[in-house]
Amino acid sequence: MEAQLDAARRRFEVKPNDSGARIWLGRRLAYLGRFSDAIEVYSEGIKKFPWDARFHRHRGHRYITLREFDLAIRDFEKAAKLIKGKPDEVEPDGQPNLRNIPTSTLHFNIWYHLGLSYYLRGQNQRGEELSRVP
């Protein structure tokens, strides 16, 4: 996994204005347990690409990992606003399945993790309502 992080870092260094390169750098850091570093990468991405919901989606996921549920909810709610009226998109898997077929989408992950954040905060009914993709 370190080799994958190194590759992601090199790609980011070559293409610092590529939002996808920044997303993957954050993901690779997170896969190695470097959650705070990943959050920093996503926070910088939010500043550079404020319209890109993926940064809020991934940072929110890392906030869940760190049990910062209020921060996660804030990010997922912002991501939900950013995707409103936009077509859904498949999210590539960081750890692909045997068939190498992605199994989730950006919209699904935002709504699922928003619901999960509320559930983990103890607001079960709100979590259940939000975890259903609209």
Range of the domain at 115: 2-130
How many domains does the chain fold into?
1
Confidence of residue 12 (pLDDT cuts 50, 70, 90): very high
Q: Look up the CATH number of the domain holding residue 49.
A: 1.25.40.10
Give the pair of three-digit tokens for residue 106.
């950006």
* Tokens describing residue 55: 């940064």
Instruction: Specify the pLDDT at position 134.
Output: 61
Per-residue pLDDT at 37 exceeds 80: yes
- Tokens standing for residue 46: 């939010």
